[in-house]
Amino acid sequence: MISKTPLLYDDLADYYDLLFDDWDESIGCQTKVLNRLISTHMDQSCVNLLDCACGIGTQAIGLAKAGHHTVASDLSTRAVDRAKREAKDGPIQ
């Protein structure tokens, strides 16, 4: 049986940011919370991260811009393509 999940997120990729009042602000807020968790549990300010369900990059983009080596993947190729566009050739792979 083929999962319809990637198809759902492929269709949502162009509109996912609209789920947030301010997507850029949400990226900043999530980065702040995740950085606090990382710094509490790690002895490094920069860590290697895998965002294995990155969607359009809401967390991966912020963490990469915060200096973490971030690799992002998702079942939805359209969501990953959007994340790449949103990263604007930034530090996310």
Of the candidates 88, 29, 21, which has an alpha carbon nearest to the alpha carbon of residue 62? 29
Distance separating alpha carbons of residues 15 and 6, to the nearest angstrom: 15
Residues 50-83: tens digit of each pLDDT: 999 999 999 999 999 999 999 999 999 999 999 9
Distance CA 16, CA 89 (A): 20
Stated pTM of the model:
0.83
CA 61, CA 88: separation in Å to the nearest integer? 10
Q: Which CATH number fits domain 5-87: 3.40.50.150, 3.40.50.1000, 2.60.40.10, 3.40.50.300?
A: 3.40.50.150
Residue 18: burial class (beta carbons within 10 Å; 0-12, 13-18, 19+): exposed
List pLDDT tens digits, range 13-60.
Answer: 999 999 999 999 999 999 999 999 998 888 887 899 999 999 999 999
- Give the model's pLDDT for residue 7: 81
**pLDDT for residue 65:** 92
